[in-house]
Amino acid sequence: MKDSVIIVSGGLDSITLLYDKASTIALAISFDYGQNHGAKELPFAEYHCHKLGIPHITIPLSFMHQYFKSSLLDGAAAIPEGHYEEENMKSTVVPFRNGIMLAIATGIAESHELKRVYIANHGGDHVIYPDCRPEFISAMNGATEAGTFVNVRVEAPYTNITKADIVRRGAALGIDYSKTWSCYKGSDVHCGKCGTCVERKEAFADAGVNDPTVYEE
């Protein structure tokens, strides 16, 4: 039964969840908030939704680029290099991004009498992103259930697993990961040095799955 909405970026995690839950998804939503890599990742979201026959929309959130402070909104040169566990990677946080997106997706879900909103945060995100942590997902779920007539649920099935686990799941589903985007710099190919690139490399290596990504280095 198609009773859910999914937030899909075009990245590895959300594309895996898209395939994982495809039989239940009535609508996929992407957001263009002025992210450095939007021109690279958003077309992949559209590509996979079209491939699966899932309706897809992209909602512009230009106010975030105008008013929010994050290196993810300030161009490739502003993106630090290194692992997510390093302090400098906190500059890539877009304040309360997932809260804003979940609120919009919930409103759309209720407007279409859909019961669930999927989001693909995972265990590795918890280090620096407060709006990816289990307590955040639990709190948002409480708010969406209480604040809608149809008691919309936020479901984040990857919250307590690793990115390597996600890669294994995607490989089993036959996903072409060359048609996903992670790099925060948004150049022609993945830089291989920013936090998301480092995490992507590690995930494929830990999962024992061939990494089809083209990196600059």
27 is in an annotated binding site: no
72 is in an annotated binding site: no
Quick one: tokens of 92? 């890539």
Nearest to 160 by CA among 124, 196, 204, 203: 124
132 is in an annotated binding site: no
52 is in an annotated binding site: no
175 is in an annotated binding site: no
> Three-class SS of residue 25?
strand
Q: How far apart are CA 108 and CA 7, in angstroms?
A: 11
73 is in an annotated binding site: no
Quick one: tokens of 78? 């502003």
114 is in an annotated binding site: no
- Through-space distance between the first and last CA atoms of the chain, rounded to whole angstroms: 45
> Three-class SS of residue 52?
helix
147 is in an annotated binding site: no
211 is in an annotated binding site: no
12 is in an annotated binding site: yes
**163: exposed, middle or buried (C-beta count within 10 Å: 0-12, 13-18, 19+)?**
buried
194 is in an annotated binding site: yes
49 is in an annotated binding site: no
15 is in an annotated binding site: yes
Whether 105 and 29 have beta carbons less than 8 Å apart is answered as yes
Q: Please report, in range form, the residues annotated as the binding site for Zn(2+).
A: 183, 191, 194, 197
Q: Please report, in range form, the residues annotated as the binding site.
A: 8-18, 183, 191, 194, 197
Q: Please report, in range form, the residues annotated as the binding site for ATP.
A: 8-18
